[in-house]
Amino acid sequence: MRLFNAVILAFSMFVTNVQGASQQAAVERQNWKIFFEQHNAEGTLVVLDQRAPGAVFQVHNPRRASAPYLPASTYKIPHALFALEHGVVKDEFQVFKWDGKTREFDVWNSDHNLRSSMRGSVVWVYQRIGQEIGEQAAKTYLEKADYGNADPSGGKDGYWLDGNIRINAFEQIQFLQKLYTNSLPFKVEHQRLVKDIIIVEAGKDWILRGKTGWEGSFGWWVGYVEWPTGPVFFALNIDTPNRIGDLPKREAVTRAVLQSIKALPPS
């Protein structure tokens, strides 16, 4: 299901189709507001904790969670998958040669492979990938993945940065659910590789995978924490009026909420 149009009252329930299959409910978590206030952040967070049966979406600011936004660099997750499927990238070791142009972040000014370009969120690598895949093939992949509105048109710097593609926080999690179970309609080895290159950190019995994104006026952090009992998916979207100065808030708010439900250990 692409859009969640209902407004959720505090801790009231609504039912919707998740991945076109089972019925799943959601609750608004007004008590998460304190974590946003502590970091002076405005936005939304959706969490799906599947460590126990009967998981429901837990939501701060459900109206915003239902609103479609540009995916920005969170799109590097599906984009890497599409690149592997299309043959633009053969494996994680293939090198993308730097063109010598100095860009605003030092990490971008060097050669990269798929892993390092994901970790450094290297825009020029994915712009090159986007050009090689082309709009028509990208649309086909997006439709197969059921990703957001599946519209790769428009944009000067990249359709995921300033074009017409849009996705909401619920849809981010729906995509990640399918990636987690290797159930996207792409080669399993490609899905496994993408999951490997988005590892953020890990402990003895948990693994955090995710990707940030930033459009300029708002930022994302999406991903999931794997536990032996099941995954905990998350999708955060916040305003960034102070631009780069607000970027640490993406992880700070999300980590605080995940720690509060014991989905991440204390810092």
CATH code, domain carrying 178:
3.40.710.10
Give me the chain's average pLDDT, please: 92
What one-letter code names the amino acid at 205? Answer: D
Indicate whether 265 belongs to any domain: no
Output the pLDDT for position 16: 38
Task: Say if residue 12's pLDDT is above 80.
Answer: no
Indicate whether 51 belongs to any domain: yes
Report the pLDDT averaged over residues 122-147.
98
Output the pLDDT for position 71: 98
Indicate whether 8 belongs to any domain: no
Q: How confident is the model at residue 1 (pLDDT cuts 50, 70, 90)?
A: very low
Catalytic residue chosen out of the listed positions 73, 110, 116, 183: 73
Report the pLDDT averaged over residues 137-145.
98
Output the pLDDT for position 26: 83
Task: Say if residue 42's pLDDT is above 50.
Answer: yes
Query: 234 - beta bridge partners?
Result: 47, 223
Task: Say if residue 177's pLDDT is above 80.
Answer: yes
Neighbouring CB atoms inside 10 A of 217's CB total 12
Which of 19-33, 97-111, 136-150, 174-188 is least confident?
19-33
What is the Cα 102 distance to its own chain's centre? 27
Task: Say if residue 33's pLDDT is above 50.
Answer: yes
Indicate whether 149 belongs to any domain: yes
Q: How many domains does the chain have?
A: 1
d(CA 60, CA 35): 10
Backbone angles phi, psi at 227, to 5 degrees: -125, 160
Report the pLDDT averaged over residues 213-236.
98
d(CA 192, CA 9): 38
Neighbouring CB atoms inside 10 A of 136's CB total 9
Where does residue 120 rank: exposed (0-12), middle (13-18), buried (19+ CB within 10 A)? middle
Select from 47, 34, 7, 13 the least CA-distant residue to 169.
47
Task: Give percent of the chain above pLDDT 70.
Answer: 91
Task: Say if residue 120's pLDDT is above 90.
Answer: yes
Indicate whether 6 belongs to any domain: no
73 included as an active-site residue: yes
Q: Where are the alpha helices (DSSP H) in the chain?
A: 33-38, 62-65, 76-86, 114-119, 123-133, 135-145, 159-162, 169-180, 188-197, 248-260
Indicate whether 5 belongs to any domain: no
Q: Within 13 Å and on the Cβ side, how many CA atoms surround 74?
A: 33
Q: How confident is the model at residue 5 (pLDDT cuts 50, 70, 90)?
A: very low
Task: Say if residue 179's pLDDT is above 70.
Answer: yes
d(CA 33, CA 40): 10
d(CA 18, CA 2): 10
Map 81-102 to HEC letters.
HHHHHHCCCCCCCCCECCCCCC
d(CA 44, CA 34): 12
Task: Say if residue 11's pLDDT is above 50.
Answer: no
Indicate whether 267 belongs to any domain: no
Give the global pTM.
Answer: 0.91
Report the pLDDT averaged over residues 218-231.
98
Indicate whether 4 belongs to any domain: no
Task: Say if residue 8's pLDDT is above 60.
Answer: no
What is the Cα 135 distance to its own chain's centre? 21
Output the pLDDT for position 4: 38
Task: Say if residue 30's pLDDT is above 90.
Answer: yes
Report the pLDDT averaged over residues 243-260.
98
- DSSP run (H or E) holding 211: strand 207-214
Output the pLDDT for position 267: 79
Segments forming the whole domain that contains residue 112: 14-260
DSSP state of 72: G
